[in-house]
Amino acid sequence: MSKLMKLNLKVWRQKNTQSAGNFEEYKVDASPDMSFLEMFDVLNEQLIETGKEPVAFDHDCREGICGMCSMVIDGRPHGPKQGVTTCQLHMRSFNDGDTITVEPWRANGFPVIKDLTVNRSAFDRIIASGGFVSTNAGNAVDANSILVPKEIADEAFEAATCIGCGACVSACKNASAMLFVGAKVTQLSMLPQGKPERQSRVVAMVNQMDAEGFGACTNTGACAAECPKQIPLSVIATLNREYISAKMNGK
Amino acid sequence: MTLESKIPVGTVSDKWTQYKSSVPLVNPSNKRQLEIIVVGTGLAGASAAATLAEMGYKVKAFCFQDSPRRAHSIAAQGGINAAKNYQNDGDSVHRLFYDTIKGGDYRAREANVHRLAECSTSIIDQCVAQGVPFAREYGGTLSNRSFGGTQVQRTFYAAGQTGQQLLLGAYSGLERQVGLGNVKMYARHEMVEVVKIDGKARGIIARDLVSGKLERHFGHAVLLCTGGYGNVFYLSTNAMGSNVTAAWKAHKAGAYFGNPCFTQIHPTCIPVSGHYQSKLTLMSESLRNDGRIWVPTKQNDERHPNDIPEDERDYYLERRYPAFGNLVPRDIASRAAKERCDAGYGVGQSKMAVYLDFKYNMTQRYGRTEASKLNIANPDDETLIRLGKEVVKEKYGNLFDMYKQITDEDPYETPMRIYPAVHYTMGGLWVDYDLMTTVPGMYALGEANFSDHGANRLGASALMQGLADGYFVIPITIGNYLNKEIHTKPISTDHEAFVAAENAANERIKHLIGIQGTRSVESYHRELGLIMWNKCGMARSEKGLKEAIAEIQALRADFYKNVRIPGSINEFNPELDKAGRVADFLELGELMCVDALDRNESCGGHFREEFQTEEGEALRDDENYMYVSAWESKGDSWELHKEELKYENIKIQQRSYK
């Protein structure tokens, strides 16, 4: 068993959406093999044992795919390591004696529910506005009847790996959701199945994104740098291109 | 009550076609008057909600996560089976049907499994039409790979993220219907009670997990698509929130529970590393296409795996099961790993692990093929590794990265260490051919029902079943019930049954939070999990099961005396949510042991130590146990009902993969 690390935590506590929040300080002993969320489990057990309220945080699959976990760790969404979610971040990425600051995603589009938990339903509404192919079950032709070149399929897949966690918004100084929207627009505009609606889709999704209060993109690239699935910045270029082309077609 | 499975008459291959063309329909204008509640938004729930809404029904969908896109189907890795025969390797609907029945150790219903195999091909078409980016060949056709328990390549995949891509497809269909106003979505809501009126399911009580408030929702029918109950073991590959609560409330309200002891232990998971461990991570079965499983031939061998020469390695699956090798079904691979570790050949710090090694296929299979493409004669080892690594990376890159992230070891260099872990539950709510439970109007779809996988599920068949149920089965079968409901006007939620159900839920929650003892919910869950794993896990015995039942009863009594739930009811309180779920697991765990004790045979994932062949294989007892156990809740105890299984199209034999 590896040696325990002594950590100081500064954690954002906020009772509900309406109330003001503040940082609280805690001490936790953690094993380097623990995930960051398991370290929070230990903290919460301590809090419960001493009659205090545990820290509320979102988490579910704990294997980096559901997109539920969301912590800003020392100022960075999902912490210091590239290409991993908070649940896949291990304490070996920290040092004995470190002080770690943990906050929720901060964006107008993601109001805090409690402590480190935020409301990301804006993303669902963006998808509902156009992030789909309009096809009903039972309509499909044989899957191999429309060939898709491997390079196209691979690129569409790369964009489709977005887990909708919102780290891109959290990382952006404008709280822009362009990487999220760009990923879906790229996936569906590349594939033949998504082409019939590509123009109406991009316009509807961008309109909804704006209505949700997400900011504009100023090309700093923080979103792609912090994306745990490493969605490339090029999806934003695709989004812009698709949008301009749709607008020029009077959509 | 007698169990009516309502299997249509006729030959097995015609049943579904006949059924579809003769089942009563609901006309479009009547559909608009009928309301359906869908609980859970994984593959089964999202596809059902979207499809029913497309057909014109009014749908309300519920999930406990913050978005329907996060249901745990998202984490399925390896793939989805379909009898497309795109590889020209002799696959057919019949073969998929046969493999699934045999894989389930002859404990699944023939008619349901045949229907599943028939629907499988349409699922792939549907998903491609939605823009699901499956893996493809250079010519633009879809790519396939092999999974355990089959000898054809029928598994479609999207790298190691197939579940994610399929769920996002179903989710996009669901959100489209939300946008069109046909589905009302309730995220961060948990179903806590069923509402029954005149014996029929007429709605649910749901708790808004943000405000803590209870809500009443009416529906002409209720669909439970709430997944499996593997988290009863505490440590499993399930998500932290995966739970049995909705299914358990349905069970308490009259739905029989089918084969609760049939749980799947997946052979290739990352081993437990410490007492703080909160969950286990799966390494996809697809890895067994190219990974070879072995242990040292010497006990307690402390050498680094790369230093152990070839002739001192025991590739025990290839040795014991030459016909299927590393691709034997999950139950068999898991037991074989346990057998080697129990015998002292395990590896790693805990000695409870075996190696999954990619070196041979990386170099000799892929490295050589790539070298040959590049016309490199006599490539050296370094070249083979370099070239092979690229191929392996494309196939399994995300899984290798995940393994490295968790263990801090590089699987491209060192074999993975793996050990079995709880993954899936074949058991679930008993349903008839229409997927209806024993409560009229209440259905169970996907992993939440018991129907298609018998005593062991084959890899890449869970995604197939979830989507078959949601896209193609329930849209047809629900008409068989709803055609008789077209005169039922929506019932006011002021009806006494709604009031009573809400009161019951409210009392239960108040009671739980009022206990204010000393122990955390988590500590009870962990203790329950340990009892289940040790005594109702990979190997079970009469003695162990009897002990487990007593221990669970005692733990449950203690829970209601000493649990401490902080915070209050009417707020966002994840500890309270968890307490409700653990309370239900504390009852379910007992039923699982009761069921395992009743079944005096070994079959599939259910292995009773008393019943094994001389070679240590599962010993079925077809004469006495060829039935589905359907348990009826009687308050503090259960009554067993049996659905006899009839095999008219498949010859029953001892399952062999040798």
Model pLDDT for residues B185-232, shown as the tens digit of each residue: 999 999 999 999 999 999 999 999 999 999 999 999 999 999 999 999
**pLDDT at residue B2 is higher than 90:** no
B281 contact residues in A (CB cutoff 8 A): 62-63
Check residue B273 and give its pLDDT: 86
Q: Which residues of B212-240 are buried (b: 16+ CB within 10 A; e: fewer)?
A: bebbbbbbbbbbbbbbbbbbbbbbbbbbb
The verdict on A4 touching B (C-beta cutoff 8 Å) is no
- Both structure tokens of A194: 């998504």
Question: Which of A126, A144, A231 best tests the B interface by mutation, with the highest count of B CBs <10 A?
Answer: A144
Let me know how long chain B is: 658
Question: In this structure, are strands B263-269 and B416-425 parallel, antiparallel, or unpaired?
Answer: antiparallel
The verdict on A84 touching B (C-beta cutoff 8 Å) is yes
User: What amino acid occupies position B568?
Assistant: S
Give kind and range of the element (H or E) at residue B182: none
Which DSSP string corresponds to B341-404?
Answer: HHTT---STTS--EEEE-HHIIIIIIIHHHHHHTT-SS--HHHHHHHHHHHHHHHHHHHHHHHH
Question: Nearest-CA neighbor of B179 among A150, A99, A207?
Answer: A207
Question: Which of B118, B134, B175 best tests the A interface by mutation, with the highest count of A CBs <10 A?
Answer: B175
pLDDT band at B246 (very low <50, low <70, confident <90, very high): very high
Helix, coil or strand: residue B642? strand
What 3 state SS string does B422-478 have?
EEEECCEECCCCCCECCCCCEEECHHHECCCCCCCCCCCCHHHHHHHHHHHHHHHHC
Instruction: Read off the pLDDT of residues A122-140 as tens digits, 9 standing for 90 and up.
Output: 999 999 999 999 999 998 9
Q: Which DSSP letter does residue B281 get?
A: -
Helix, coil or strand: residue B171? helix
Residues A10 and A83 occupy one common structural domain: yes
Q: A66 lies in which domain range?
A: 5-113
Measured distance between the N- and C-terminal CA atoms of chain A, rounded to whole angstroms? 62
Check residue A2 and give its pLDDT: 67
Question: Nearest-CA neighbor of B459 among B43, B74, B77?
Answer: B77
Residues A126 and A206 occupy one common structural domain: yes
Query: Across the interface, do B187 and A124 touch by the CB < 8 Å criterion?
Result: yes
Question: Which of B52, B70, B142 best tests the A interface by mutation, with the highest count of A CBs <10 A?
Answer: B70
Query: Across the interface, do A191 and B133 touch by the CB < 8 Å criterion?
Result: yes
Residues A102 and A13 occupy one common structural domain: yes
Query: Across the interface, do B175 and A127 touch by the CB < 8 Å criterion?
Result: yes
Q: Which of A91, A113, A135 is the last residue of a domain?
A: A113
For residues A107-132, give the mean pLDDT.
Answer: 98
Residues A159 and A127 occupy one common structural domain: yes
| Residues forming CATH 1.20.58.100 domain(s) in chain B | 494-622
**pLDDT at residue A62 is higher than 90:** yes
Q: Rounded distance, CA B485 to CA B494, Å?
A: 20
Q: Is the ipTM of this complex over 0.85?
A: yes
Check residue B419 and give its pLDDT: 96
Please tell me the total count of domains within chain A.
2
Which residues between 16 and 55 in chain A have a beta carbon less than 8 angstroms from any beta carbon of chain B? Answer: 16, 31, 33-35, 37-38, 41-42, 45, 47-49, 51-54
B268-422 fold: Flavocytochrome C3; Chain A, domain 1 (3.90.700)
pLDDT band at B395 (very low <50, low <70, confident <90, very high): confident
Helix, coil or strand: residue B506? helix
Question: Nearest-CA neighbor of A118 among A133, A103, A128?
Answer: A103
pLDDT band at B149 (very low <50, low <70, confident <90, very high): confident
Helix, coil or strand: residue B309? coil
Question: CA-CA distances (angstroms) from residue A93 to A32, A102, A151, A203, B407?
Answer: 8, 15, 35, 42, 13
Residues A141 and A238 occupy one common structural domain: yes
Residue A19 sits in a domain whose CATH number is 3.10.20.30
Instruction: Read off the pLDDT of residues B596-648 as tens digits, 9 standing for 90 and up.
Output: 999 999 999 999 999 999 988 999 999 999 999 999 999 999 999 999 999 99
**Burial of A244: CB neighbours in 10 Å, binned 0-12, 13-18, 19+:** exposed
Kindly list the strands in the beta sheet with B627-634, ordered across the sheet, starting from the edge strand earlier in the chain.
Answer: B428-429, B257-258, B627-634, B637-644
Q: Rounded distance, CA B598 to CA B545, Å?
A: 10
Q: Which DSSP letter does residue B130 get?
A: T
Beta-carbon neighbour count of residue B648 at 10 Å? 8
**pLDDT at residue B1 is higher than 80:** no
For residues A49-77, give the mean pLDDT.
Answer: 96
Q: Rounded distance, CA B429 to CA B256, Å?
A: 6
Instruction: Read off the pLDDT of residues B266-309 as tens digits, 9 standing for 90 and up.
Output: 999 999 988 899 999 999 888 999 999 999 999 999 999 999 99
The verdict on A92 touching B (C-beta cutoff 8 Å) is yes
Residues A92 and A201 occupy one common structural domain: no
Instruction: Read off the pLDDT of residues A28-52 as tens digits, 9 standing for 90 and up.
Output: 999 999 999 999 999 999 999 999 9
Instruction: Give the Cα-Cα-Cα angle B11, B13, B18 (nearest 5 degrees).
Output: 75
**B486 Cβ partners below 8 Å, 6+ apart?**
B26, B30, B33, B34
Residues A49 and A139 occupy one common structural domain: no
Residues A135 and A201 occupy one common structural domain: yes
Q: Rounded distance, CA A88 to CA B456, Å?
A: 30
Residues A126 and A83 occupy one common structural domain: no
Q: Quote the minimal CA–CA distance from B201 to chain A in Å.
A: 27
| Residues forming CATH 3.90.700.10 domain(s) in chain B | 268-422
Instruction: Read off the pLDDT of residues B332-355 as tens digits, 9 standing for 90 and up.
Output: 999 999 999 999 999 998 899 999
Query: Across the interface, do B158 and A194 touch by the CB < 8 Å criterion?
Result: no
Q: Quote the minimal CA–CA distance from B136 to chain A in Å.
A: 5
For residues A141-162, give the mean pLDDT.
Answer: 97
Which residues between 212 and 241 in chain A have a beta carbon less than 8 angstroms from any beta carbon of chain B? Answer: none
Q: Which of A113, A140, A168 is the last residue of a domain?
A: A113
Q: Which of A70, A89, A113 is the last residue of a domain?
A: A113
Which DSSP string corresponds to B528-581?
Answer: HHHHHHHHHSSSB-HHHHHHHHHHHHHHHHHHHHHB---S-SSS--HHHHHHHH
Check residue B283 and give its pLDDT: 93
Q: Which DSSP letter does residue B321 get?
A: -
B494-622 fold: Methane Monooxygenase Hydroxylase; Chain G, domain 1 (1.20.58)
For residues B557-571, give the mean pLDDT.
Answer: 97
**Burial of B137: CB neighbours in 10 Å, binned 0-12, 13-18, 19+:** middle
Give Dmax (Cα) for chain A. Answer: 65
What 3 state SS string does chain A have?
CCCCEEEEEEEEECCCCCCCCEEEEEEEEECCCCEHHHHHHHHHHHHHHCCCCCCCCCCCCCCCCCCCCCCEECCEECCCCCCCCHHHCEHHHCCCCCEEEEECCCCCCCCEEECCEECCHHHHHHHHHHCCCCCCCCCCCCCCCCCCCHHHHHHHHHHHCCCCCCHHHHHCCCCECHHHHHHHHHHHHHCHHHHHHHHHHHHHHHHHHHHCCCECCCCCCHHHHHCCCCCCCHHHHHHHHHHHHHHHCCC
**Sign (positive or negative) of CA dihedral A136, A140, A146, A152:** positive
Q: Rounded distance, CA A59 to CA A165, Å?
A: 11
Residue A218 sits in a domain whose CATH number is 1.10.1060.10
Question: In this structure, are strands B354-357 and B442-444 parallel, antiparallel, or unpaired?
Answer: unpaired
